Homo-oligomer: A and B are copies of this chain.
C-alpha cells in the first residue's frame, strides 16, 4: 500500500518532466532560444524571493512558491497559450481543466486534491499569493523580452495597448514595480519593438 503510494508519486514526477519540453514564445535573456515552461517556473520562484518586498505585507511567500511551481503543469496536455492569442484563450480554460484532472489524478487522491487547490488558487486570483504569482508571470516575460531586445513583442507584432493590458495586474500586485514596467514599454515603443499604433 505504502509502496504503491510512492510509485504513484514517482510516476507523477516523471510525467511532470514533460513540462521541460513545452516551449513558450518568450526567449532566453540572450535571445539564443525560446524558454520552456519548467525553467520559466523556476525563474518565477526566484523572482518571488527577490521581489517579495514589492508585494502587500500579508503575502505568504511559501504559498506563492507553491503556486508558481504548480501553475504551468497543465500545459503538459493543454500546451502554452500565447499571451497575445485571443482564439487560444477561448478554449484555454476547458483544455486546462481536463489536463489538471488527468495529471493530478496520477497522484494519490489526497495529493491530487492538494494540487487542484493550488492550481485553482492561482487561476482564481483571489489571494495575495495568487496575485503576486500572476504579476511575477507578467514581469518575468517583460524582463525576458527587454533583455532580448524585443523578443515576442517584436516577433509577433504586439501593440502597446496589448502589452499594457497584459501587464495591468502588476499595478496592484507590485505597485512599486509598475513605473518600471511602464518605462520599459515606452522605451520599446520608441525603439519600434512594440507597435505604437492600433493593429
Binding site for B on A (CB under 8 A): 2-3, 6, 9-10, 12-14, 16-21, 28-30, 32, 35-36, 38-39, 41-43, 45-47, 49-51, 54, 61-62, 65-66, 69-70, 73, 107, 111, 114-115, 140, 143-144, 147, 176-177, 179-180
Contact = CB atoms under 8 A, between A and B. Distances in A.
A73 B46 CA distance: 10
Contact of A6 (B6, B32, B176): B176
A32 B92 CA distance: 28
Contact of A45 (B3, B45, B61, B140): B45
B42 A69 contact: yes
Contacts of A180: 3, 6, 10
Contacts of A35: 20
A16 B65 contact: no
A51 B13 CA distance: 10
Contacts of A38: 38-39, 42-43
A143 B20 CA distance: 15
14 contacts: A2-B176, A13-B43, A13-B47, A17-B144, A18-B30, A19-B39, A20-B39, A21-B28, A42-B45, A42-B69, A45-B65, A49-B69, A50-B111, A65-B65
Nearest to A174: B6
Nearest to A110: B53
Contacts of A107: 50
A17 to B, nearest CB: 4
A46 B13 contact: yes
A30 B180 CA distance: 41
Contacts of A115: 49
Contacts of A70: 46, 49
Contacts of A30: 17-18, 21
Contacts of A51: 9
